Structure 1
């Protein structure tokens, strides 16, 4: 059997199908991080540059080197660091920190008013430390009589290098983009063009290297954790490993404990040990058998009907760029049809029932987005496609539904439909980097070099708006640096 090879221009490295699979298995076995075939294929140029850096001309040779090298673990950790995101920002997803400050902390402090005043928080997958330090700042600002409390904040990550960087507490300006001027003055000192976090905040956090695939999860010296933050981490893992992690979290969480996940991460179909607490513009999870003392959630602001109607009645595929975008990829062609003709008029929320009761439109959208992701994660792409279509029946302008509809269409080999969905994504949100990037990839695979080059250029232009290590929307783990290298 002749093996297909991918030859990279301007290098002597070739990545064979076997090499890519070895890479995939190596990362999965060590860390539980699941990189599907599409992501591995997209990472091929990045892996090749890494191999050149290590002076290997094939991944097979590098793999054999790892098998007989006593420093295998160090090497694998470096490889994982190279292909994943290692930086975030302070107070990322501000809505969740508002919930942490205004709901979760008061819930815990009220319950322990006349008890032993311990507060135990674990930030799992802390990267360069912005999250645990944001937690520490929030506690300093919110907790009354802080000196009377025994506050323990543990921050862990699989990457030793980012742990060392986090301990130093020195950041660039972009990492502070969600930090107000008054907070910057109070908690940071400017050192050249960098910002150093004050010692009184840094000393509140203990950093430790930890692999979530390990059997024994850390426990606080005072018992189980009150809160676990594990945001934008489980997106890297397959369903089985995610289930295992969440089960482990449940075992080491207090009976009234809280779990914070990333805004796009869900426990739907993963675990029944937690209840979702919805605050309107964000949600968190609480270990079952208790109810949070919650004030009414803040409602999301809705776009005005006039704006939504204006966009809903525009012809997406016949806009100025339609001649270039409406390109046949298979024997069929992309129909130059209007957006509205492809998406039904939004229905009244009362037309829908999920489970036993009638739900509002927003809840319905969140339900089917989560259900679609769950179906896609298990390879049931047809079911996922149906879920995303149900979202679009309610909200034809839902960017997330169009983007993930495109991805599942690719997996169903419905390439024309995938292209159309990416085009609609871009029309609604032109800044969606991954839509440009994936559209370029499909054009290239179809031999349409002109449009592929155009979309790759659009991708690079959009990437200039972000910092090098910033996470790209819907990427599931690709940083700006990685996508720039691939382009």
Structure 2
């Protein structure tokens, strides 16, 4: 989660730029009639944010999302707050704080604020080793395990941002699973930012986000839009995916998943919030299912009941029978070896 929404040139925060923001606010007038304070006349009029004000915002982000902003991130927080002030035309950080905290949680400005603070660059096929395991080992095991006329596969991309991870999974599935028509596949992508979710639903990606997609998969499963440096996923991928807004601090009312991606997000949470998120996630991971995390999440101590297969890969124990063995362990019937050498 921390991508840079487009930088606005000087002058973009004046009155000429405000109608788009205010039109969004009018859409929810039935929820709230709070108008922002009087606009500033120039971006240069913005005061310097104080340490106390930054801490107020850091505490606010934590209360809303469970994400703890470290002191080292205060400059980043300051820069992104400045963009929100310019977008809304509000003249001080304290005024924006008062304005924001009086709004209902469904107000578009809340989403704009949280998306500004919590998003980061993402792209398809990030972390190549993980996708090699997904394509060649996980999908092969899933195909071997299900041989009936109708097979199912459920995947959750938690903190999905603009859908890059979900569409990478869909792309791999379309390329690797035999007899795709006999599968009922669900790839759910969720993110706290409504803007990110809406972008994911467009199934479009710029050249930078597509830079690691293998050429053969790009030709098979994406189409280049005319007169634009943008690629759009084809229906074979979009029919597998669905996206919706969700806060990881809240339980997800869904049936269990075979695989959950929870990558590069827990590093922003403190220990207490990590426990809440992991509890919510593991409740919807089926026995024997996999959890894929970022390699540097630092959550091993919180997953002591899971089988650790790689620094980034865990498996939930089976309710009965054998469970997957850690790398180097002897193999039991119905279990797997290390994830990069999995054999039935």
Classify the TM-score, shorter chain.
Answer: 0.7 to 0.9
TM alignment of 1:358-373, pairs within 5 A: none
TM alignment of 1:378-417, pairs within 5 A: none
CA distance in 1, matches of 2:150, 2:47: 60
| TM-superposed deviation, 1:86 | 4.6
| TM-superposed deviation, 1:256 | 0.6
1:259 aligns with 2:291: yes
1:112 aligns with 2:146: yes
What is the DSSP-based 3-state SS (H/G/I as helix, E as strand, rest coil) of the residue aligned with 1:269?
Answer: helix
The aligned residue for residue 308 of structure 2 is 276
The aligned residue for residue 317 of structure 1 is none
CA contact (8 A) 1:13 1:52 kept: no
The aligned residue for residue 184 of structure 1 is 218
CA distance in 1, matches of 2:294, 2:155: 16
1:287 aligns with 2:299: no
Instruction: Report the count of equivalent residues.
Output: 283
CA deviation map 1:152-175 (0-9, x unaligned): 111111111111111111211111
The aligned residue for residue 17 of structure 2 is none
1:238 aligns with 2:270: yes
1:34 aligns with 2:63: no
CA distance in 2, matches of 1:119, 1:104: 11
CA contact (8 A) 1:19 1:58 kept: no
TM alignment of 1:132-171, pairs within 5 A: 132-171=166-205
CA distance in 1, matches of 2:339, 2:48: 57
CA distance in 1, matches of 2:75, 2:205: 33
CA distance in 2, matches of 1:293, 1:44: 48
- Could you tell me which of 91, 96, 117 is aligned with 1:83? 117
- Could you tell me which of 233, 248, 257 is aligned with 1:212? 248
CA deviation map 1:412-458 (0-9, x unaligned): xxxxxxxxxxxxxxxxxxxxxxxxxxxxxxxxxxxxxxxxxxxxxxx
The aligned residue for residue 59 of structure 2 is 25
CA contact (8 A) 1:103 1:294 kept: no
- CA RMSD between the two structures: 2.2
CA 1:153–1:49 in structure 2 vs 1: closer, same or farther (change >3 Å)? closer
CA deviation map 1:121-145 (0-9, x unaligned): 1111111111111101111122122
What is the DSSP-based 3-state SS (H/G/I as helix, E as strand, rest coil) of the residue aligned with 2:212?
Answer: coil
CA deviation map 1:16-41 (0-9, x unaligned): 23211210111111111110223124
CA deviation map 1:183-238 (0-9, x unaligned): 11111111122112112211210111111122x31313xxx111001111112211
What is the DSSP-based 3-state SS (H/G/I as helix, E as strand, rest coil) of the residue aligned with 2:69?
Answer: coil
- Could you tell me which of 221, 224, 231 is aligned with 1:195? 231
CA 1:262–1:53 in structure 2 vs 1: closer, same or farther (change >3 Å)? same
What is the DSSP-based 3-state SS (H/G/I as helix, E as strand, rest coil) of the residue aligned with 2:125?
Answer: coil
CA contact (8 A) 1:86 1:162 kept: no
CA deviation map 1:312-370 (0-9, x unaligned): xxxxxxxxxxxxxxxxxxxxxxxxxxxxxxxxxxxxxxxxxxxxxxxxxxxxxxxxxxx
CA distance in 2, matches of 1:64, 1:245: 29
CA 1:234–1:71 in structure 2 vs 1: closer, same or farther (change >3 Å)? closer
CA contact (8 A) 2:137 2:340 kept: no
CA distance in 2, matches of 1:145, 1:115: 10
Structure 2 gaps, min length 5: 1-42, 325-334
CA distance in 2, matches of 1:205, 1:149: 14
CA distance in 1, matches of 2:149, 2:315: 21
What is the DSSP-based 3-state SS (H/G/I as helix, E as strand, rest coil) of the residue aligned with 2:296?
Answer: coil
1:247 aligns with 2:279: yes
CA 1:226–1:238 in structure 2 vs 1: closer, same or farther (change >3 Å)? same
Higher relative contact order (CA 8 A, sep 6+): 2
1:55 aligns with 2:55: no
What is the DSSP-based 3-state SS (H/G/I as helix, E as strand, rest coil) of the residue aligned with 1:178?
Answer: coil
CA contact (8 A) 2:133 2:340 kept: no
Q: TM-score, normalised by structure 2?
A: 0.76
| TM-superposed deviation, 1:52 | 3.1
Q: TM-score, normalised by structure 1?
A: 0.55
Which structure is larger by alpha-carbon Rg, 1 or 2? 1
CA contact (8 A) 1:234 1:242 kept: yes
| TM-superposed deviation, 1:295 | 6.0
CA contact (8 A) 1:129 1:169 kept: yes
Higher helix share: 1
| TM-superposed deviation, 1:68 | 2.5
CA distance in 1, matches of 2:95, 2:141: 55
Structure 1 gaps, min length 5: 1-8, 299-487
CA distance in 2, matches of 1:141, 1:42: 39
What is the DSSP-based 3-state SS (H/G/I as helix, E as strand, rest coil) of the residue aligned with 2:213?
Answer: coil
